[in-house]
Structure 1
Amino acid sequence: MSPIRLAIVGLGKIARDQHIPAIAKTDGIELVAIASRHGGLDGLPWFTDIESLLAEGPAIDAVALCTPPQVRRQQAAVALAAGKQVLLEKPPGATVSELLPLIQAAKNGSQTLFATWHSRFSPAVKPARAFLAEHGVRRVEIEWKEDVRVWHPGQAWIWEPGGLGVFDPGINALSILTDILPAPVFLTRAELAFPANRDAPIAADLAFSDSSGFPVNAAFDFRQTGPQTWDIRVETDAGQLVLGKGGATLSLDGKALIGEPEAEYPNIYKRFVELIAARESDVDLTPLQHVADAFLLGRRTTVEDFED
């Protein structure tokens, strides 16, 4: 079978650091073109936007949309209308409601729409889900703190409406949380810190619960310097389970259970190939719904200006 011919739309940091190496490692798919305002790659056809890619570019079967979330809905709609399979970087869009017509369009065309949550493909996530299915959860504490200047240098879109601010990394924690817990949770409180000169939060403190009442607390912050923190601690009736380093490690009461190399993006593309072969979609909006709830319930405070 011929490999899936893929074009990347949006050649930014995440595409260069993660998508391109992952595609090269994945059987059954190959990168054949780039559409980006920021230039292309040597040896591949390059176009400034998805419309010119589809009109003038080489034959393609699928697109990976790595652009800022504010413009993904329109790009995905164009690609689906052209009969292409579509992979969405996280978050899948700027709003929840804009994604529903895309889901229906993919269904109508028997096409694949894949909303990726890369952190769910971390090595500790599946074992943690299996463990929590068998042991009672008493409390969850999430600490997700990183330096925005390191991970999003000069990316003004992240501070604009729809850019999510600190929820851009924080949604990774929520994607893991909603995948490993045996029952759904709902937001009960949110405190959002907005720089005086920005339209998206730089920090957030959240509280969730479920029908049984156990607490889930999450602290997100974009102002961390030095070592970065991406940890989820779950108190259970069998001890403390810790997913560390964004889900790369897993321990129980300090005893290491999992510590494998990162393979999130190769696993994403493996899943994309499988979905296309099965003519299926995979679009879970739960993490984005929790972020939307945080903006609905959030008590806003103003903090000092942020300058990149």
Structure 2
Amino acid sequence: MTALAVLTIACGGPDPHLGNERVTIPRGATLSAVADTLHAHRVIRSPRLFKLYATASGRQRDIQAGTFEFQIGSSMGQVLETLVSGTEVLESLIIPEGLMLSELAQRVQSQIGIDPQAFLTAARDSEMLERVGAPAEDLEGYLYPSTYYVATHATALDIVRQMVGEFESRWRSEWNQRLTELGMTRHQIVILASIIEGEVRYRPDGKFVSSVYHNRLSSRMRLQADPTVIYALGRRRRLYQRDYQIESPYNTYRIDGLPPGPISQPSEASLEAALFPANTDFLYFVARPDGKHIFSRTHREHLAAVREVRQQGQ
């Protein structure tokens, strides 16, 4: 019987009653450091035997850095296989639609502990900006809302890359032809989609809200979108009349056309709504208490709809 086989047998098998243990192996850790760390966490009984086993197997240089989960009492073969295969513990990161970049940075911190400032710095990465072709200073709008599974040692830039990659995978190739038909750039569509995201709670209304904005752009009317005022203010709160006068390139009550960049991370549904608006002549809408909208063609119709909504809210 070989020495490797003897060592494997000597280690015994996992005991489900002892539970699991998470262990972090830093980059550049020596075999001795790895063995001592595993022993300190009760994953192995003998650092010396583990070093002998890893060396005899010829895999001591293949051990990966990262955070791993082991069942207490696992054999040295199972422990080494986990370390060599790089099967890390993954943390879930749940990003809902419509978050502003600043809110997204706070969400990442609260869920997986990444420093918000480090995340905001990563969101200005020039390589990623070039990848999405965004004429902007940051990746607002391109950090796709989804559920991610990230390694516990992932950096802010690792997460940003994953989110940008998800955005690119959601952007359908046939949408590029639609951009040509609309005479718009992808960046403009992402901007519009982010505004739609901020307006729509009832998803079927998305394409109709989009039609209002497209019609207003075609008619050279200001968008007058409340979510852009909230973005200009930098925080979510109830809007007052004075807020609509705030000086900002994002305040669509004061500027013509689209704001210079997206105001949140839009969903695929909002991107699709921005690209494929309903065929209407609506120019106005107002939200009802249930989140659905009333759409109007004229200002007079709109004022009547506003009165109706106010009565519903009483």
TM category, shorter: under 0.3
Structure showing the higher strand proportion among its residues: 1
> Which one scores higher on RCO, CA 8 angstroms, separation ≥ 6?
1
Q: Which has the larger radius of gyration?
A: 2
